[in-house]
Amino acid sequence: MDTMLLKRTRDTEQAAKVCIRIIEGGPKSGTRHDSPLLTASELIRSLHQDAAVDGQFWFVDDRADEPQRSAAIGAWPLWISERARNDERPLFYLTQSPTSRHLSTLTAHTAGRGIILNDIESAPSRWSKGAHPWLPLWLASNRQCMPFDPACGEEVKAILAGALHDLYMRGEPGFCYMTLHDEPVEQLSCDRTHAYLGMYRLPGPASAAPRIRLLGAGLALREVRAAARMLKDDWGIDSEVWSCPSYTRLARDAAHALRWNATPGGHARQTSHLHACLERKRLPVIAVTAYVEFVPAQLGAYLDVPFTALGADTFALNQCPDRNWITYCALNTLAQQGQLATQELARALDLYGLNTFALKRPGFRAAARS
């Protein structure tokens, strides 16, 4: 909730518009393998270097031990600045917050506004993605927050531009959250509009006849793409691969469309982005994250196809699903649908050296739905 009553003005909208222009055109020095964290840092540097926008946005970096010329180390000055309260500007907040408690305090200081860029994946941690297990639950349940887990720099650009437009040009409430990994990754052919809406399909062979859909978010998408290659090379099975920067946005949008269409009144039906992407073919879905399984499992209630969610707690606590397990789960799903001989599953376990103990966990059985 905006307890500071920050006021959106024409200058707010103009600042956001200029930020979007620079973000969509940069960074000029990027490479094909820039990480999301590096891309975000370079974009903010580009904003500082452009005379048209420098000073027209707020930037906080609470990771710094000492104040920097171009960044504050906290958002508390906004509380005491009447000028800031009366003329809101785009806020970029770079932090390293592994817990929901820390993020809750942080967003209280920002009046629940801004674009939060969380650099937790580059910090040493016993937890997957550097986040305590309850952090993604807090993000998904917080209706003021729209959380994203970008896989590459191009997705970061799409999300930043979309968030600036919605928060500061349209005046929508709440804040945008991104967790940023710092692993070099190949830049994807990104549909920026669909990436911001939560998912888009990666290009595949034109002649392919896919039998299953593989969804991935953040760094997990790298393992999903590798699993798709293994399905093709080892088993002759084609698949669709989708990047899902926000499972939560997809689930909320699907829930909204469901409620809207159930409301009497003769109004036009709505189609959620999830259904617009997936309803043309009835293919089984495997959805993967490096967060806990709950995050992709949010989609299960809105899909009328065999669905399996895989996360960092599916096979063992804090063990992210790798390409071998993703491939096996895809084969298992196809076997359950009668599209693969069940004896091939034993061969897959042996081929990939998988531990069958994980298959006896109740959590694994609950993750799949026929």
Phi/psi at 251 (5° precision): -70, -40
- Residue 239 is classified by DSSP as E
**DSSP H/E element including 58:** strand 58-61
Q: What is the pLDDT of residue 363?
A: 46
- Residue 267 is classified by DSSP as P
Phi/psi at 351 (5° precision): -60, -40
CATH number at 341 reads 3.40.50.920
187 domain residue, yes or no: no
* Average pLDDT of the chain to the nearest whole number: 88
| Same domain, residue pair 140 and 230 | no
Q: Decide which of 123, 151, 179 is a domain's last residue.
A: 179
| Same domain, residue pair 204 and 320 | yes
120 domain residue, yes or no: yes
- The better pLDDT of the pair 276, 263 is held by 276
| Stated pTM of the model | 0.91
Q: State what percent of residues in the chain have pLDDT above 90.
A: 66
Alpha helices in 236-320 (DSSP H): 247-262, 273-278, 294-297
| Same domain, residue pair 165 and 269 | no
User: Confidence class of residue 149 from pLDDT cuts 50, 70 and 90?
Assistant: very high
| Same domain, residue pair 285 and 231 | yes
Q: What is the pLDDT of residue 45?
A: 92
Q: What is the pLDDT of residue 319?
A: 78
1 domain residue, yes or no: no
pLDDT above 70: residue 70: no
User: Confidence class of residue 30 from pLDDT cuts 50, 70 and 90?
Assistant: very low
Range with the lowest mean pLDDT among 59-68, 99-108, 196-205? Answer: 59-68
Q: How many domains does the chain have?
A: 2
Range of the domain at 78: 10-179
Question: How confident is the model over 31-41, as pLDDT tens digits?
Answer: 567 899 999 99
| Same domain, residue pair 166 and 209 | no
Q: What is the pLDDT of residue 264?
A: 85
Question: How confident is the model over 333-368, as pLDDT tens digits?
Answer: 999 999 999 999 999 999 999 876 656 555 454 445
User: Confidence class of residue 77 from pLDDT cuts 50, 70 and 90?
Assistant: low
191 domain residue, yes or no: no
User: What is the rounded CA–CA span in Å between residue 318 and residue 291?
Assistant: 9
Beta pairing class for 285-288 and 307-310: parallel
| Same domain, residue pair 126 and 168 | yes
Q: Decide which of 152, 179, 206 is a domain's last residue.
A: 179
User: What is the rounded CA–CA span in Å between residue 137 and residue 291?
Assistant: 10
Q: Average the pLDDT over 301-310 and give the result.
A: 96
* C-beta neighbour count of 161 within 10 angstroms: 21
192 domain residue, yes or no: no
Question: How confident is the model over 90-126, as pLDDT tens digits?
Answer: 999 999 999 999 999 999 889 899 999 999 988 888 8
| Same domain, residue pair 218 and 137 | no
pLDDT above 70: residue 2: no
| Same domain, residue pair 217 and 145 | no
Q: Which tokens hold the place of 157?
A: 């650009």
CATH number at 63 reads 3.40.50.970
Which region holds residue 171: left if phi is over 0, alpha if psi is between -120 and 50, else beta? left
DSSP letter for each residue of 165-231? IIIIIS---SEEEEE------PPP---HHHHHHT-EEPP--TT---SEEEEE-TTHHHHHHHHHHHH
pLDDT above 80: residue 164: yes
Q: Average the pLDDT over 275-292 and give the result.
A: 95
3 domain residue, yes or no: no
Q: What is the pLDDT of residue 8?
A: 85
pLDDT above 90: residue 229: yes
| Same domain, residue pair 213 and 148 | no
Q: What is the pLDDT of residue 343?
A: 93
Phi/psi at 19 (5° precision): -60, -45
Q: What is the pLDDT of residue 53?
A: 82
| Same domain, residue pair 228 and 166 | no
| Same domain, residue pair 149 and 267 | no
pLDDT above 90: residue 218: yes
Q: What is the pLDDT of residue 224?
A: 98
CB distance 58 to 113 below 8 Å: no
Phi/psi at 232 (5° precision): -75, -50
188 domain residue, yes or no: no
pLDDT above 70: residue 79: no
184 domain residue, yes or no: no
Q: State what percent of residues in the chain have pLDDT above 70.
A: 86
| Same domain, residue pair 53 and 137 | yes
Q: Average the pLDDT over 260-280 and give the result.
A: 91
Q: Which tokens hold the place of 337?
A: 């649908």
Q: Decide which of 122, 146, 179 is a domain's last residue.
A: 179
